[in-house]
């Protein structure tokens, strides 16, 4: 499993992901959760929704292929993406990827 986050990040509470090929650490803040996630190549997350979260994310290593409401986009290092509340979305990771997501309460 890739995971190049600093030890201070790794000391945050872990969150079990939807897939076994990921690791995630969570920082709780008022009206927002910050998720530090790592994914192995070949990881896919099937279509799903988050009705209670407005998600903004940035890729810090690798690439994310994101499908939101039927539209697929690729995001590389330093690029931001947005998943509106209630939007159906799915994700594919073809390479080792790390990202930071900000889950704001919707």
Q: Report the residue count for the chain.
A: 106
Q: pTM to 2 decimals?
A: 0.88
Percent of the chain with pLDDT over 90: 75
- Residue-wise pLDDT for 38-49, tens only, equals 999 999 999 999
User: For 13, which DSSP code?
Assistant: P
Q: Are 59 and 104 in contact (CB under 8 A)?
A: no
pLDDT in tens, 22-35: 788 999 999 999 99
- State the residue for tokens 């994914």: 39
Query: When comparing pLDDT for 15 and 99, which is higher?
Result: 99
Share of the chain above pLDDT 70, in %: 92
Residue 2 has pLDDT above 90, yes or no: no
Q: Domains plus CATH for the chain?
A: 17-105 (2.60.120.10)
Q: Which residue has the higher pLDDT, 69 or 16?
A: 69
- Helix residue spans in 1-106 (DSSP H): 7-10
Better pLDDT: 73 or 22: 73
């Amino acid at each position: 499993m890739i995971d190049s986050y600093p030890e201070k990040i790794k000391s945050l509470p872990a969150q079990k992901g939807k897939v076994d090929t990921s690791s995630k650490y969570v920082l709780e803040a008022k009206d927002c959760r910050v998720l530090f996630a790592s994914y192995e190549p070949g990881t896919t997350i099937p279509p799903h929704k988050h009705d209670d979260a407005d998600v903004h994310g940035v890729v810090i290593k690798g690439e994310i292929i994101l499908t939101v409401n039927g539209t697929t986009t690729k995001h590389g290092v330093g690029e931001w993406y947005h998943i509106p509340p209630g939007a159906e979305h799915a994700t594919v990771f073809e390479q080792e990827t790390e990202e930071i997501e900000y889950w704001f309460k919707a």
